[in-house]
Each structure stands twice: as C-alpha cells, then as structure tokens.
Amino acid sequence: MKRLIFLLIVSLSFAAIEFSGDARFRPRLDVQEYGINDEDGNIKTSDLYYLYRARINMKADIGDGWFFKSKLGTNSVAGMTKMGPSSDNNDGPGNSNSHRPTLSFLELYYGYAKEDCGFWVGAFPLKYTPALDLHFYSDKLVDIPFVLYNNSSINGFAGYQVIKDKKINWFLSVDLNNTNSAESLPGNETTEKDMYTLGLNSSFDVLNLTLTPNILLAIGDGDLPTTYGLDIDLPELSDISSSISYHMTNYDATDGDHFRVKMTKPVGKGSMKFFYDIANMEDDSMSYMWLSYTHTCYKGDAGTVTISPTYRYQDGGYIGETFDKDYNRIKFEITTEIKFF
C-alpha cells in the first residue's frame, strides 16, 4: 500500500513535466592541411577520433501560457566529448580513459507564450540562420560555428509579438557584462558599457517563396557589427526542398558577407542533405561543403534511431588570428543517434 501511494504521488508530481533527450556516438576522420604552420608547427595533420554526447530535455507547463524549459548536456563544441583525450585535456581521476563529460545547463529559461505574444528569459535556443555565424563568429564564418560553439543557444531575453497577423520575433542577448564604473585614487574614474545584440526577424510569403529577413545589431562601446540579410525558402521541386540565404555584416572599417545554398531530399528510409557556403571578410575568402545522408533505422512512438554518414570540406580559414588561404579541412564521420520522447 505504501509503495502504491508513493508511486501515485510521484506520478502526480511529474504529471505536467515532459522529459525527452538524445544521445550520439560519432567516429570521425579529421584531416587538415595548412599553408602556414599551425600552433604546433605542423603543416598537415590527420586524426581518427571518437566523439559522444547525451542531452536531457525537461519541459513544464504550469498553466495559462507559463512554462519552464531546460536542456542538460556538456557545454563543449556541439556538446561532444572526445574519448581518450590527451593528458592536457584529461580532467578524470586516473588516466585518459577515466575522462568523462561534465554536466551543464545548455538551456535554462522560463516565460509566457500565447498566440499573440510571448516572452522568456535565461539561456534559450535560437532558430538557426547563417546570420548568427556571421555576426557572432566572424573569425570562423563557416562550418556552422554558432551551432557548434554556442550549442544553438544564447543568454538574455526573447519573445514575439503578432501584429496584423505577422509574427515579429526578437531577442536581446547579453554578450559581455563589464564593470560599468570604477574609481581609483587620486580621483580617476573609468566607465565601460555592457555589450548586447538585438535581433529581429519575421517570415512572410511572396508568390511561392517564404522570405525571412534578419537583422542583428550589436550595442555597446567600440567597433561593433551590424548584420542583416535574408533567408529564402524555395518551392519544393521533385521532393527536393531547397533554400538560399545571403547576409552581410559591417564594422567601422570591415565588411563581410555569407552566401548559402541548401537542398534536402527524401531517399529511401532517410534523407540527403547538401549545402554549400561562400563567405568573405574583407579580402579573406573561404568556402564550405556539407553532404550527408540520414538513414532511419527505427522509428516508434517512443523515439528513433538513425545513422548519418557525413562528408565536410572547408577551403580557407583562420589559424589563430591569421588568415590562411591554403588551409583546407576534410571531416568524414558516421553519426549514430538515438532520440527518446
């Protein structure tokens, strides 16, 4: 009887809380060539390594539009952990095999959402657009750096407002919290502003196209970027979904841009994905290609299992703060993933 009462209390306590998550395992062959020596003095490296991750999502709706959401995982590049890292990167209690991923809140936010408006605060996800790469990672530009290094989320405030049947999305990210005022003897005072980014976008249809203009405006002291452009979803043709995007950014004396064409197509029990990027920052130019096939091994009411061979190629890139036009990188990987709902 006590066991039954305990189970009933637990079930009632968690009745309004939803859990989901995913886990990945990814062997990768990573080959890099340099026109100038890298930080270790190499001109070419080749490495086969193994990555893995797990993430747990929690969602609670308490009523009348109020909600809480969080995502637990490892706050690393793409949330991944390398198996058997070098001794310099091993924080385990024993040898390199004792290294384990640490747990962080990748997302942690709460707020209010109704049909006509919404608002939330904390660490929250942003719907991906190449504008985020160009704005926040102008030293990387390609290879989806916002997804990799920010784990698709940001700190600050966000929401939306519906105006005449058009949904306006916005966010204000807290990029850097400085000490705003400091005094020292004899009577010296220094002031410094915090740094923010205001982001706005909205989608609308023109003929058979869906257009999403984006603008990102950095706020604070110094030479800060303004980034703007357009994502365009094209009409589906022979089961091929495609899109193009073009965005520009400018500082006081620096201009950059980013162009992407993307296509996806169902094939068998999965789908093919291809995209190609061309990015420029002043006279520095680089390109990037992604080709993958995701095969669904299992799909049920409780989750899915997939396997995704992926080929990525980058031409041109930054070594530290120096641009290397002869740099190239090939990544071939096979990602297995399980998702549960």
SS (H, E, C) the chain: CHHHHHHHHHHHHCCCEEEEEEEEEEEEEEEEECCCCCCCCCCEEEEEEEEEEEEEEEEEEEECCEEEEEEEECCCHHHCEECCCCHHHCCCCCCHHHCCCCCEEEEEEEEEECCCEEEEEEEEECCCCHHHHHHHCCCCCCCCHHHHHCCCEEEEEEEEEEECCEEEEEEEEEEECCCCEEEECCCEEEECCCEEEEEEECCEEECCEEEEEEEEEEECCCCCCEEEEEEEECCCECCEEEEEEEEEEECCCCEEEEEEEEEEEEECCEEEEEEEEEEEECCEEEEEEEEEEEEEEEEECCEEEEEEEEEEEEEEEEECCEEEEEEEEEEEEEEEEEEEC
Mean pLDDT confidence for 200-225: 93
What is the pLDDT, as a whole number, of residue 33?
93
Mean pLDDT confidence for 116-122: 96
| pLDDT tens digits for range 323-339 | 889 999 999 999 999 99
The identity of residue 146, as a single letter, is F
Rounded Cα distance between 94 and 101, Å, is 14
Mean pLDDT confidence for 318-327: 87
Structural domains in the chain, sorted by start = 17-340 (2.40.160.10)
Residue 126 has φ and ψ, to the nearest 5°, of: -115, 135
What is the pLDDT, as a whole number, of residue 104?
94
Contact 116, 163 (CB under 8 A): no
Contact 130, 247 (CB under 8 A): yes
What is the pLDDT, as a whole number, of residue 40?
66
Mean pLDDT confidence for 244-263: 90
Q: What mean pLDDT, rounded, does the chain reach?
A: 90
| pLDDT tens digits for range 7-62 | 545 554 554 789 999 999 999 999 999 987 766 677 889 999 999 999 999 999 98
| pLDDT tens digits for range 225-246 | 999 999 999 999 989 999 999 9
pLDDT bracket for residue 252 (50, 70, 90): low
From the number of C-beta atoms within 10 Å of its C-beta (0-12, 13-18, 19+), residue 242 rates as middle
For the entire predicted model, the pTM comes to: 0.89
Instruction: Write out the two tokens for 173.
Output: 């990210």
Of 46-55, 276-285, 301-310, the range with the lowest mean pLDDT is 276-285
What is the pLDDT, as a whole number, of residue 88?
67
Question: Tokens 């809480």 appear where?
Answer: 68
Mean pLDDT confidence for 162-168: 93
**Better-predicted residue by pLDDT, 101 or 265:** 265
Rounded Cα distance between 72 and 61, Å, is 18
What is the pLDDT, as a whole number, of residue 138?
86
What is the pLDDT, as a whole number, of residue 11?
55
